[in-house]
Amino acid sequence: MKDSILGIPFYRFYYPHDIKEVEEACKRLNYRHNDCNWIWDGVQLDGLAGSNLHRLPEFEILFNWIDECLREVADDIGMPNNLKINAAWTNLNKKGDYFYDHTHANCFVSSNFYVNGSPDVHTIWHLPNPWFNQTNIWPWGQWTEEKFFLTHKEPTEPGKYIVFPPMIRHRAEVNTSDEDRITIAANAFPDGFINASGVSHLHVKVL
pTM for the whole structure:
0.87
pLDDT tens across 181-202, in order?
A: 999 999 999 887 667 666 666 6
pLDDT tens across 85-142, in order?
A: 999 999 999 999 999 888 888 889 999 999 998 888 889 988 877 776 655 555 555 5
CA distance 98 to 48: 28
Q: Which is more confident, 177 or 66?
A: 66
Q: Which domains does the chain have, with CATH numbers?
A: 2-119+155-194 (2.60.120.620)
Q: How confident is the model at residue 17 (pLDDT cuts 50, 70, 90)?
A: very high
pLDDT tens across 143-176, in order?
A: 556 677 888 899 999 999 999 999 898 989 999 9
